[in-house]
Amino acid sequence: MRGRAQGAALHPGTVTLVGAGPGDPDLLTVRAARALMIADVVLADALVDDRVLSLVRRDARVIDVGKTPGPGNKTVAQDEINERLLEEARAGHVVVRLKSGDPFVFGRGGEEALFLAAHGVHVDIVPGLTSAVSVPTLAGIPVTHRGVSTSFTVLTGTARALDPIETDALEQQWIAAARTGGTLVFLMAMHVLDRVVARVVEGGLAGTTPVAIIQNGAHEDERTLKSELWRVVDDVRAARMGPPAIVVIGEAVNAIPVVTHPFDLDGRARIADDADAHGAPEAHVSAPQPAPLDGGAPHSAAIADAGVDSDTIAVALEKTDVRL
Residues annotated as catalytic (active site), given as ranges: 45, 67, 188
Least Cα distance to 82 among 130, 37, 28, 123 occurs for 123
What burial letters (b/e) apply to 143-167, b meaning 16+ CB within 10 Å?
bebeebbeebbbbebbbeeeeeeeb
DSSP state, 290? Answer: P
The reply to whether omega before 257 is within 30° of 0 (cis) is: no
Q: Are 155 and 174 in contact (CB under 8 A)?
A: yes
Expressed in percent and rounded to 5, the helix, strand and coil fractions of the chain are 35, 20, 45
